[in-house]
Structure 1
Amino acid sequence: MSKRIRKRNSIGILLVLVFLTACIDKRPNRTEDGQDKLESLRTDPPFNKNSMLFKDTIYVPIYSNIYLDEADQKGLLSATLSIRNTSYQDSLFISKIDYFNTEGHLVKSYLDHSISIRPMATVNYVIDREDDSGGWGANFIVALSAKNPDMKPLIQAVMIGHTGNRNFAFSTDGYSIKASLNTP
């Protein structure tokens, strides 16, 4: 086989690989079968809120952009909200995931139904780097509950960005702003 034919075949194979790679669904908030991650965790039928002994509302700071220098140059960040059920035995129920911008206005409400996170499971939800609707003071409000009054879920955010050839990442922890325990 001549070099010209091998080169042409190599270019053809490369083009096919590029095409196939472009066809892959790269949306991080989708399951392998294309369903929205949060929708896939829907509780059906809805859980009984009165049977929940643990209830909490968590504030999670998010940064969709940060200032990089004194010239007010902003760097865009991708942000991942991570909700971790740390219980070996009990499910964690989430009834609200709301995203607010720097001015305190609701940008998006991610749930119109409750979801359930199995024991020791985690759900992550990504805010794309190009979405700067939250600004430098954005936050999530996450309302959660469980049947076990001793639940200790872990809610965090991880931000990733780059400028030039420098990459950086940092995380923030969620803070309880409205905890309550129902006594049986």
Structure 2
Amino acid sequence: MKYFKLLLSIPLLALLSCENHVPNSETQILVEDHAIKNLATSSDSLHQTKKVYVPVYSNIYQSTRNDRTSLTSTLSIHNTSETDTLFITRIDYHNTEGKLVKKYLESPIYLNTFETIEYVVDEKDDTGGSGANFVIEWYGSKKLNPLFQAIMIGGLGSKSFSFATEGIYFE
């Protein structure tokens, strides 16, 4: 009988100890695969969008201007914060002439603390040319200092090489 009363009291205690917590609708964010479904906030600092330019190279010149080596390029976006979420509203890929080649986002996304997201331009994709770039727009708390990098890798014969570039802020 003791055990029966104990078994009945555990679910009752669990129900009574639960708080009726309703999230603040002003800051509620519903997500699916990092896509933001709803974001309403009164904080002006959250809406100050910043732009970053990241140079990438889908190919580089080898011996002459007509002899090129194709590269695989990876854009990496790192949320370096231990406490704040990074929101990204735009990732656009431009070619050497500055023309838009591809929009990587249809709607804003987010990165959790210390999270990294990557976008790859395949070696066979030469639409960017030797002077391609990504333009990224993002926002978050004023404390955020995300890292935007591109890594390129390629090879000549039996040798391979890689190099990196970092994004710069612009208006």
**Which bracket does the TM-score occupy, shorter chain normalised?**
0.7 to 0.9
* Aligned residue pairs, count: 139
List structure 1 segments (4+ residues) > 3 angstroms apart after TM superposition.
Answer: 46-51
Question: Normalised by the size of structure 2, how large is the TM-score?
Answer: 0.76
Seen in structure 2, the aligned counterparts of structure 1 residues 71 and 90 have a Cα distance that, compared at 3 Å, is: closer
Are 1:95 and 2:89 counterparts? Answer: yes
Larger radius of gyration: 2
- 5+ residue gaps, structure 2: 1-31
SS at match of 1:108: strand
SS at match of 2:120: strand
Are 1:121 and 2:115 counterparts? Answer: yes
Q: CA deviation at 1:67?
A: 0.4
| Aligned partners of 1:75 and 1:163 also within 8 Å | yes
Of 42, 45, 48, the residue aligned with 2:38 is 45
Match of 1:72 in 2: 66
Q: Distance in 1 between matches of 2:108 and 2:98?
A: 23
Q: CA deviation at 1:151?
A: 1.1
Q: CA deviation at 1:70?
A: 2.5
Root-mean-square deviation over aligned CA pairs: 1.7
SS at match of 2:70: strand
Match of 1:160 in 2: 153
Q: Distance in 1 between matches of 2:40 and 2:62?
A: 45
Question: Normalised by the size of structure 1, how large is the TM-score?
Answer: 0.71
| Aligned partners of 2:94 and 2:100 also within 8 Å | yes
For 1:83, the aligned partner's letter is I
Q: Distance in 2 between matches of 1:143 and 1:170?
A: 24
- 5+ residue gaps, structure 1: 1-38, 179-184
Q: Distance in 1 between matches of 2:39 and 2:63?
A: 48
Seen in structure 2, the aligned counterparts of structure 1 residues 46 and 111 have a Cα distance that, compared at 3 Å, is: farther
